[in-house]
Amino acid sequence: MAGWNTKKKFWKDATVSETEAGFAVLLDGRGLKTPAKTPVVAPTKAIADAIAAEWDAQVDEIDPLSMPVTRWVNAALDKVALQHAEVADMLAEYGGTDLLCYRADNPQELAQRQAELWDPILDWAADTLDARLIPVQGVMFQTQDANTLERLRQRTHRFSNFELAAFHDLVSLSGSLILGFAAVEKLRPNEELWSLSRLDERWQEEQWGRDDEAHELAEIKKAAFLQAQKNFELCRV
């Protein structure tokens, strides 16, 4: 019952063992468990190997912040697996208020930049996801086509528990369901997709200068976004 019941390192070797259910992670031969005591069994060897590497890298005390793959797997097993439909519905709702659809009415320069950088992503979604979302000026809520939103919802529900846990971070961190899909489909380099989600903030920095505290928080979110895409990829290796 190796797991999170102590902060001190209590094992020597982290290994991976193939089972009927998937790939289990073992600490000195004992099965690793999540904080909720769920056995850590991954659907791919790549995921299990990444978890084992994180546990091997611990020195004296367990540092959860240095174990992003383990934390993602814990979320998939302890949270998403128990409420997959609810999580998928929650994420699909981002389509109705997608970041890429709400444009500035002024200044004109910002509105133009949004159109130049965001419209191609919406065009891609229309062509590839069969989901044409309509951009609007200002912050007033605009209802999107119900059939379009339903197609996006169905796509979201098709993700596995592990994929959905990673997709959750991509969407919630960027504020965009479409950018989340663009990330998992590798439409653009991940750094570029993250930059698209920060277009308004970058504009503000250009006008008024950088807020160091806000910038530091943005960098933390960026790292989490990039990690989430890597996690998603581990599901398909």
The secondary element (H helix, E strand) that includes residue 57 is: none
Return residue ranges of the chain for CATH 1.10.3580.10.
Answer: 82-234
Peptide bond into 35 cis (omega under 30): no
Neighbours of 200 (CB within 10 A): 15
One of 1.20.1300.10, 1.20.58.220, 1.10.3580.10, 3.40.50.150 is the CATH number of 82-234, namely 1.10.3580.10
Per-residue confidence (pLDDT) for residue 1, from 0 to 100: 36
Summarised one tens digit per residue, pLDDT across range 144-196 is 999 999 999 999 999 999 999 999 999 999 999 999 999 999 999 999 999 99
Give Cα 185 to chain centroid, integer Å: 13
Which CATH topology does 14-78 take? ATP12-like (3.30.2180)
pLDDT of residue 90: 98
Residue 56's nearest CA partner among 19, 15, 108 is 15
Segments of the chain assigned to CATH 3.30.2180.10:
14-78
Q: Which residues of the chain are modeled with pLDDT < 50?
A: 1-2, 4
Instruction: Enter the pTM of the model.
Output: 0.94
